Structure 1
Amino acid sequence: MERLIDIHCHILPAVDNGSVSMDQTRRMLTNAHEEGITYIIATPHYGAGCINSRSSELEEKLHQVQKAAKEIDSEFQVELGNEIFYSQDIAQHLRKGMARTLAGTRYCLVKFLEDEEYSFMKSGLHSLLIQGYYPVLAQVESYRCLYENYDNIAALINLGVYMQMNSRSLTGSVLNPNVRFARRLMEYDMVHLLGTGYSSDAQKSPGLKGGLSFISRYYGEERKNNLLENTGKLLLNEKIERQLFRYV
Structure 2
Amino acid sequence: MDMTSMTAITAPLMGRVAIITGSTSGIGLGIARALAEAGADIVLNGLGDLGQIETTRSELAAATGVQVNYNGANLLDGADAAALVTDTINEFGKIDILVNNAGIQHVSPVEDFPVDKWNAIQALNLSASFHATRAAFGAMKSAGWGRIINLASVHGLIASPYKSAYVAAKHGVLGLTKTVGLEGAQFGVTCNAICPGYVWTPLVEGQIEDTAKARGISRDDVINNVLLAAQPTKRFVTVEELGAVSVFLCSESARSITGVALPVDGGWTSQ
TM-score range, shorter chain: 0.3 to 0.5
Larger radius of gyration: 2
TM-score using structure 1 length: 0.38
